[in-house]
Chain A
């Protein structure tokens, strides 16, 4: 049993070491939240309030910066998680995978170590966003923070599994670059990340609703519920039942790992 842990530890450690030595990935993980929160957030902040009977009110009961902040955490976790699958393509391309496949480790352990490593890095990139919390007027309370970190790690694990499933289906770097942009950004934009689901605030605005297809897409997107869960924890605002988010995150992780393991065992 201890020996099995040693193997998983070795694979996990390798992922983490590689991430630490990859400066480009770190810069991306730091600049992405800065751009999204400071430029988009500050820029659009004034437009997300309306004047009602002389009171300045926000569309959602928070500033846009606060509204956006949890979504950017998800964005960073999502980018890193899905991108960590790039290293699976690397391993296959540059032969390292064979070194692992000829070791006496069961396939499930190999995949678990790999995804645990990717999840750790994705989680760390999510934590980078927390560093700019004070610029967005989000106050992090310890009790919320623990739950938030747990959800972030779960999400990182799930999205790394999704990345692994994608990596198993495409075979080249170029393919992956296109795919990740085709997958990550649409998932992000249709997760109610940058605008609330219900634009109605005042009587005149109730007539301005989003088209049904968009609402349907948002509701079908599992990332919507992950964003909602983090929003609930960090700013106390939920658009859905607060219980749904954690369940969806757990489901992405479990189903994602099962599919990734099925693919991985079948191919090698």
Chain B
């Protein structure tokens, strides 16, 4: 483990040791060790091809690891898959509802295959539809719902049975800002009401801030694992933002600092800031600068430092990826 302990010293509910998976020549997972505690909100962050989806598929028992073990609530995912699945709720990246059935029918189907007794099933369906604010849509065919509503149905569905761990693979991908916010609000509410471990992958870095711990993976390895604050303190880079008054100052600063980034707004951002840099800039350009500030490190910069890549670059192409190749079961991303 790279850093960060299981929160509050409770027994871990997810234990992963030496997990490895190889597709031909590509090493998708390279000896992952991880443990996730009860009631924790755990974020998995990584660029495309980092191994996130492979890791998720192994945890969901859809894929067998080559080496190592993964346990969900004490059950080994490759040796006791049925017992492990009973502890799992999953929201997949691609929609997995039956669009020809109604919302209620989809949820009831889930309850039946997860052996939820009739009374509890009926109660849970009502409760979960209330949670995701879809009570009036109960008898609507799923294909008549919007993408955001479908995703909410899937979240409700993963919670019909008593799962100890709920895995959400990119639950907010492709949704508008309002829907994304709502989904996080539901998850927050849920966490206060029910003892539940949430494992979330996302590439919206701002969403990760509310999680207990963040795990950054790349090339099948864990690069960093800690609370968002600790990650910022350790890997984040402070930067100086300068607003020049005129063009001459702007070119002057750019010439003096080859690593400076000129933004479209006219601002200049200088990574790796110290107070010395500010003093030097003020001394050199003085009144040519209308505003200068030191910005707190963002998780974006943490990600950039660790992986050398911008996470935002991938956003546009994201939704079509990570569909497992049907023939080999190999995730494409």
Write the residues of chain A forming the contact surface with B, with a CB cutoff of 8 angstroms.
Answer: 3-4, 6-7, 9-11, 13-14, 17-18, 21-22, 92, 94-106, 171, 267-268
- Report how far A1 CA is from B73 CA in the complex, Å: 24
- CB pair B62–A103 under 8 Å, yes or no, is no
Residues of A within 8 A of B97 (CB): 96, 99
Write the residues of chain B forming the contact surface with A, with a CB cutoff of 8 angstroms.
Answer: 60-62, 82-83, 85-86, 88, 90, 92, 94-101, 105, 108-110, 112-115, 157, 326-327, 329
Query: Can you list 6 pairs linking A and B with CB atoms under 8 Å apart?
Result: A6-B113, A6-B115, A7-B113, A7-B115, A102-B62, A103-B113
Residues of A within 8 A of B62 (CB): 98, 101-102, 268
Q: A14-B109, A104-B85 are in contact. List 8 more A-B contacts (CB 8 A).
A: A6-B112, A7-B115, A10-B113, A95-B92, A95-B94, A95-B95, A102-B62, A104-B83
- Report how far A155 CA is from B259 CA in the complex, Å: 74
- CB pair A104–B82 under 8 Å, yes or no, is yes
User: A-B pairs with the 5 shortest C-beta distances?
Assistant: A10-B112, A95-B96, A3-B115, A103-B113, A104-B86
Residues of B within 8 A of A97 (CB): 96
Residues of B within 8 A of A268 (CB): 62
Residues of A within 8 A of B157 (CB): 99
> Assuming A17-B105, A94-B95, A95-B95, is B113 touching A11 (CB within 8 A)?
yes
- How far is the CB of A251 from the nearest CB of chain B, in Å? 30
- How far is the CB of A88 from the nearest CB of chain B, in Å? 12
- CB pair B113–A100 under 8 Å, yes or no, is yes
Q: Per DSSP, are chain B's interface residues mostly helix, strand or loop, or mixed? A: loop
- Report how far A100 CA is from B98 CA in the complex, Å: 11
- CB pair A171–B109 under 8 Å, yes or no, is no
- Report how far A242 CA is from B115 CA in the complex, Å: 44
Most buried by B among A18, A22, A94, A97: A94
Residues of B within 8 A of A105 (CB): 82, 113
Option from B61, B82, B100, B110 in Cβ contact (under 8 Å) with A18: B100
> Assuming A95-B96, A104-B86, A171-B327, is B60 touching A10 (CB within 8 A)?
no
- How far is the CB of B83 from the nearest CB of chain A, in Å? 7
Residues of A within 8 A of B108 (CB): 10
- How far is the CB of A244 from the nearest CB of chain B, in Å? 39
Residues of B within 8 A of A104 (CB): 82-83, 85-86, 113-115
> Assuming A98-B62, A102-B60, is B112 touching A9 (CB within 8 A)?
yes
